[in-house]
Amino acid sequence: MTAGSTPKLALRIALLALVAALLEIVAVSQISVFGVSADLTPLVVASVGLLTGSISGAAVGFGMGLFLDLALVQTLGVNSLIYTVVGYGAGRLRELRDPQGALVPIATGAAATAVATIGYSIIQFLLGVDAPVSLLLVRDIITTILVNTIIAAPLFAIVRRILVGALPDDPARRRRRAYTTGGLSPLSRA
């Protein structure tokens, strides 16, 4: 990672997180699909984690969760905890496996949404919030996961498009690219 790309990347991530959280509060939460609204936050946090790593994914998750808790006047720290886990998990997936498949953003988006919705429900139940627990809650969780799975790939492409100019170069990808584009092999140097 170069020194010049770090502030630019941090600024882009901060603006992306702020705009995504505001967009979710103002617009997306008002649109109902199959009785539930889409949840952009776990998808954005997982996308940032997949693109930049575990530390920045966890930091974005904590920041977006704290902003949502404050903006929606909810129990402080619940969303922060959940989205920190989501961002860290997506970042660790990138660091340990370096996934390159086209279905990775979709599977990661579904897993991130499942962790976020189920985790939020469990934490609220453990905190003693008076909410009805029934099969309707299970139906809403499953429907939210399905809706977010559908929008995971386009949202990942948008996040990648926003961050691509400031992302750090990965030396392993740079080496692979040099050999496949006609670069000289280290064996031919003499």
Domain boundaries of the chain, sorted by first residue: 5-180
Q: For the chain, 190 residues long, give each residue's pLDDT as a single digit of tens.
A: 444 458 888 999 999 999 999 999 999 888 888 888 889 999 999 999 999 989 999 999 999 999 999 999 888 999 999 999 999 999 999 888 878 888 999 999 999 999 999 999 899 888 887 767 778 888 999 999 999 999 999 999 999 999 988 777 644 444 444 445 555 556 655 5
Integer Cα distance of 109 and 104 in angstroms:
8
Given this structure, which CATH class describes domain 5-180? mainly alpha
Structure tokens at 185: 């092999």
What the block records as the tokens of 22 is 């505001």
* Alpha carbon separation from 106 to 67, 89, 109, 110, 155 (Å, rounded): 25, 15, 5, 6, 10
The DSSP letter of residue 78 is H
pTM score, whole prediction = 0.82
